[in-house]
Amino acid sequence: MARRDNGVTTPEQPPGGRSAGLRMVRQTLRTAAYGLPVVALLIAWETFARSGAVTMFILPPASAVAERIWADAAAGDLWRNILTTMYRAFSGFLLGSLIGVAIGIGISRNALARWFFDPIISIGFPMPKVAFLPVIILWLGVFDVSKIAMVTIEVLFPVVTATVIGLQGVNRSVIWSARNLGASQRQLLWHVMIPAAFPQIFTGIQVALPIALIVAVFTEMAMGGYGLGASMMSASRLADSRGVFAGIVAIALVGYCVVKLMGLLRRRVLIWHAEAVMPSTV
């Protein structure tokens, strides 16, 4: 429909158009406000570094670090290191998640698996798994296999724990109803228990992802080679302060992007779950 103002016909505002515009403005302002603390931190960093209170070696300005990141990106070194670290982190993450879910299901559904794995998981969970690093180096060397193995070991424990807790927390009435309807043990597991426990299992996987990135960087620092951690250690040995801080910033940005993408994936995968309709800051 159209309306006339002073003899001029103008198209009518679509229903909800103004409210949609207001929502977009609010979302933009909310996003801008979310980034203000980071901007304030960068300004404080730049100001303090250039104030003369510390030397450029101790704390290079944020602008100098940004220039170094740009130069490394232009040369291709940054992308090579990021891809190497992500390859190790994601390979260990996927292996640890798959093995962890399988062990968690076994502990929840099989008495023999529970007898064997439960004390191992109970003892190993609070233990710093990096204590195995010298053994891993002795057995597997200092190349990709050893780094991926360390990530896998670290990821395994939170995923196993989340899987066991999720399966044990399934509503008993749902299980009884499925049994009364004639569901077999396999159907009960795959069609009832795992879907009901999946939000809890996914939480364990979500927690394990940044752990995988942390361990990948740590193993690169300890073993050398390529990757973000190794590049930082090389810069440290050469007294390259800008290179060290550039690595820290690169790791922070990669970790932030990975965690945000995992949050988006969670909302897509759990679209059927009640939490999908709840407000989220992820």
Structural domain contains residue 152:
yes
Q: Does pLDDT of 93 surpass 90?
A: yes
Residue 245: the pLDDT is 94
What does 49-73 look like in DSSP terms, one character per residue?
A: HTTTSS-TTTS--HHHHHHHHHHHH
CB 125 within 8 A of CB 157: yes
- Which residue, among 8, 15, 55, 152, has the nearest Cα to 94 in the 3D structure? 152
Residue 33: the pLDDT is 75
Structural domain contains residue 99:
yes
**Same domain assignment for residues 81 and 40:** no
CB 169 within 8 A of CB 111: no
- Which of 34-38, 129-133, 171-175, 251-255 has the highest average model confidence (pLDDT)? 251-255
**Same domain assignment for residues 170 and 208:** yes
Q: Does pLDDT of 251 surpass 70?
A: yes
Q: Does pLDDT of 3 surpass 80?
A: no
Structural domain contains residue 6:
no
Q: Does pLDDT of 29 surpass 90?
A: no
**Same domain assignment for residues 48 and 83:** no
**Same domain assignment for residues 79 and 41:** no
**Same domain assignment for residues 36 and 117:** no
Longest dimension (CA), the chain: 88
44: containing domain: 14-53
Residue 9: the pLDDT is 53
**Same domain assignment for residues 184 and 238:** yes
**Same domain assignment for residues 246 and 161:** yes
Residue 175: the pLDDT is 83
CB 282 within 8 A of CB 264: yes
Residue 279: the pLDDT is 45
Structural domain contains residue 8:
no
What CATH number did the domain enclosing 209 receive? 1.10.3720.10
What does 202-246 look like in DSSP terms, one character per residue?
A: HHHHHHHHHHHHHHHHHHHHHH-SSSHHHHHHHHHHTT-HHHHHH
**Same domain assignment for residues 127 and 38:** no
Number of domain units in the chain: 2
**Same domain assignment for residues 124 and 250:** yes
**Same domain assignment for residues 39 and 100:** no
**Same domain assignment for residues 35 and 96:** no
CB 152 within 8 A of CB 92: yes
Q: Does pLDDT of 2 surpass 70?
A: no
Structural domain contains residue 4:
no
Degrees to nearest 5, angle at CA 250 with 247 and 256: 140
Residue 21 tokens read as 């515009």
CB 148 within 8 A of CB 187: no
Question: pLDDT by residue (tens digit) across 97-150?
Answer: 999 999 999 998 888 999 999 899 988 888 888 888 999 999 988 888 999 999
Count of Cβ atoms closer than 10 Å to residue 228 Cβ: 24
Structural domain contains residue 5:
no
Question: pLDDT by residue (tens digit) across 159-175?
Answer: 999 999 999 888 888 88
Structural domain contains residue 3:
no
pTM attached to this predicted model: 0.82
**Same domain assignment for residues 19 and 107:** no
* Mean pLDDT estimate for the chain: 85
